[in-house]
């Protein structure tokens, strides 16, 4: 086999290796991207915070109402235990009782409204929890699938590298260096085959005399236009 035939085979393997490496890189990106989950988690946290705040407000109003109820109880006791004789004083205690009742009723109305509001927030919270759980479950399944695909790719990669090694050993070092440089600068294609009497990479027409040379076992032959190594397959 000529040097160029070995290079051609080497490029065939390198192309497969590159394809696998690209796929592994895109798998890693997918595995590490969890923007959707983070966003849903943030929404969940903000609804939870809203719910907790409303709950705290309700509980604050409840404790205010409890305090007022205790005062009202004392007030009623004072009113009916007969210890207060002065009519003016009695009237003032009675007025205070009316005012306390009003305030308690007002607080209870507010508590009721806020509880209704918080029921809606709780529904929203449960909805978002379900969404978040579904997203997390789907993401986990996706990661599992991607990881098993990655394992298979890594196995193929190992096989290709084992296949590549004896081919590389057949090629002169300086030619390997030229090949690497060409692949780097020419869209991963260092070796171009002749197809319909032209360079398959750039379309440069090759004369029959040139084709004879390309078919011969000489080590190096380059396309005059694109400067790739030409090979007749
Ligand atoms: Zn060319």
User: In 15-40, which positions are buried (b, 16+ CB within 10 angstroms) versus exposed (e)?
Assistant: ebeeebeeebeebeeeeeeeeeeeeb
Q: Which residues pair with 229 in a beta bridge?
A: 191, 222
Residues 161 and 185 in one domain: no
3-class DSSP state of 232? coil
Chunked into runs of 10 residues, the chain (233 residues) has average pLDDT values of 95 98 98 95 98 98 98 93 89 95 98 98 98 97 98 98 97 97 97 97 96 95 97 94
CA of 223 to the centre of ligand 1 (A): 5
Nearest Cα neighbor of 5 from 126, 196, 171, 122 is 171
CA of 194 to the centre of ligand 1 (A): 9
CA of 230 to the centre of ligand 1 (A): 8
Nearest Cα neighbor of 16 from 163, 147, 119 is 163
Q: What is the CATH number of the domain that holds 11?
A: 1.10.287.1490
Residues 178 and 144 in one domain: no
Residues 11 and 111 in one domain: no
Q: For the CA atoms of 152, 154, 159, 165, what is the dihedral angle to 10 degrees?
A: 170
Residues 121 and 190 in one domain: no
Residues 148 and 181 in one domain: no
What pLDDT, on a 0 to 100 scale, did the predictor assign at position 210?
A: 95
What domain range is 49 assigned to?
34-165
Q: What is this structure's pTM?
A: 0.78
């Amino acid at each position: 086999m000529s040097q160029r035939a070995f290079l051609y085979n080497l490029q065939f393997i390198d192309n497969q290796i590159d394809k696998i490496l690209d796929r592994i890189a895109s798998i890693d990106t997918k595995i590490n991207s969890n923007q959707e989950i983070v966003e849903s988690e943030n929404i969940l946290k903000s609804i939870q915070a809203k719910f907790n705040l409303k709950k705290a407000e309700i509980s604050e109003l409840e404790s205010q109402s409890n305090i007022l109820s205790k005062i009202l109880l004392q007030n009623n006791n004072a009113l009916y235990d007969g210890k207060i004789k002065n009519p003016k004083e009695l009237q003032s205690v009675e007025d205070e009782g009316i005012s306390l009742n009003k305030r308690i009723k007002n607080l209870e109305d507010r508590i009721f409204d806020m509880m209704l509001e918080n029921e809606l927030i709780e529904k929203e919270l449960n909805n978002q929890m379900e969404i978040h759980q579904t997203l997390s479950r789907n993401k986990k399944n996706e990661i599992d699938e991607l990881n098993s695909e990655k394992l298979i790719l890594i196995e193929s990669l190992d096989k290709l590298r084992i296949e590549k090694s004896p081919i590389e050993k057949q090629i002169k070092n300086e030619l390997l260096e030229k090949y690497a440089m060409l692949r780097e600068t020419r869209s991963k294609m260092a070796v171009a085959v002749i197809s319909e009497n032209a360079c398959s990479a750039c379309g440069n027409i090759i004369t029959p005399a040139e084709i004879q040379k390309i078919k011969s076992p000489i080590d190096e032959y380059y396309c005059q236009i694109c400067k790739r190594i030409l090979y007749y397959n």
